[in-house]
Amino acid sequence: MNNLIGLAEHIPAPEATLTVAHTPIRLPMPGRQPLELRLTAPATGGNLPIVLLSHGFGPSNYIPSKDGYAPLAQFWAERGFVVIQPTHASSRVGGLPSDSPGAPFFWRERVEEIKAILDQLPEVERQAPAIAGRTDHSRIAAAGHSFGGHTVGLLLGALLNGEDFSDPRISAGILLAAPGRGGKDMTDENAARFPFFDVEFSTLTIRSLVVCGDADDPHFTTRGPDWHADVFHDAPGAEALLMLHGVGHGLGGIAGLDAKETETEAPDVLEALRRLTLAWLQTVLGADEGAWPGGCLALKGKAAPLADVTQS
């Protein structure tokens, strides 16, 4: 029960079920400290699909780590998904030292961390005995917010300087307020500071949902909120654009409730985002083929003020 939710109740979603969490799970990484993870999963059930959730590079100390993004991770796990959250190398609280090569953003290391999780799924299950033997390694999605969207975009097939970082083990993606086109679409200062934003989206072919806020006015570019939708327009795999109304880069609160990252708290919009991203995952990973169409239909009815969907 949530007294702050109104219109979003019209978007269908399963009831929450009991979950279990394992943290910290530690995976060895060559030449550096172990990669720490949080895993949240349904307490019962088998053949559970997996979602890898990549955090952003926000202003808080702890939210850009395995311990953030509870509004998304917990919601998905309560409704049938194993959610794995790494503390990326870029994290302030648990990342790599600031004098390490690639600091402070570690964009390449972040991609390698996701691949390390995929390589070591049996070890993840060994350290999380409550889910051992209950996951479906053939159904894996990756979701990322902000800078995490950049990480996930590369894993889904976007090219950077002609280099391919894609991983065929990932079959679906969600890009949440991800960076748009780099280079000339950015201010000169930011183009120089973030050359790794200059990616080629036309090679991103894995099925993806793009999520934006129509009040997200990025400081990287002189363009407006539509900058974050570039991947939808450029990537063949981007099948839908979910545009949330009245929220900015924090998308109503996905990184954390009452957090610095959440410049506009909008519980009803946040709930719509949670329900619709869940529906997308259910449909693209084969858990419920009717979930996404049902969610989109709700946006044509009483939930219409919260968001709209454009299908490619």
| 144 within some domain | yes
- Quick one: pLDDT band at residue 47, thresholds 50, 70, 90? very high
Q: Which two tokens stand for residue 90?
A: 């870029």
Residue type, 206: I
| 181 within some domain | yes
Report how far residue 87's alpha carbon sits from residue 91's, in angstroms, rounded to the nearest whole number: 6
Q: Which two tokens stand for residue 273?
A: 């985002």
| 2 within some domain | no
| 57 within some domain | yes
**Residue 196's domain spans which residues?**
7-311
CA distances 128 to 37, 48, 96, 125, Å, are 11, 14, 24, 5
- Quick one: pLDDT band at residue 260, thresholds 50, 70, 90? confident
CA distances 156 to 115, 259, 309, Å, are 12, 29, 21
CATH number, domain with residue 152: 3.40.50.1820
| 195 within some domain | yes
Judged against a pLDDT cut of 80, whether residue 38 lies above it is answered with yes
Q: Which two tokens stand for residue 105?
A: 């953003």
Peptide bond into 12 cis (omega under 30): no
DSSP string, 164-177: E---TT--EEEEES
| Mean pLDDT calculated for residue range 137-163 | 98
| Mean pLDDT calculated for residue range 129-142 | 97
50-80 confidence digits (pLDDT tens): 999 999 999 999 999 999 999 999 999 999 9
Report how far residue 142's alpha carbon sits from residue 115's, in angstroms, rounded to the nearest whole number: 11
CB atoms within 10 A of CB 46: 10
Q: Which two tokens stand for residue 307?
A: 């968001």
Pick from 160, 303, 182, 164: nearest CA to 244: 303
Number of domains making up the chain? 1
Judged against a pLDDT cut of 80, whether residue 257 lies above it is answered with no
Judged against a pLDDT cut of 90, whether residue 136 lies above it is answered with yes
| 1 within some domain | no
The model's pTM: 0.97
| Mean pLDDT calculated for residue range 185-197 | 96
Residues in the chain: 312
Contact between 272 and 11 (Cβ < 8 Å): yes
Average pLDDT, the chain: 96
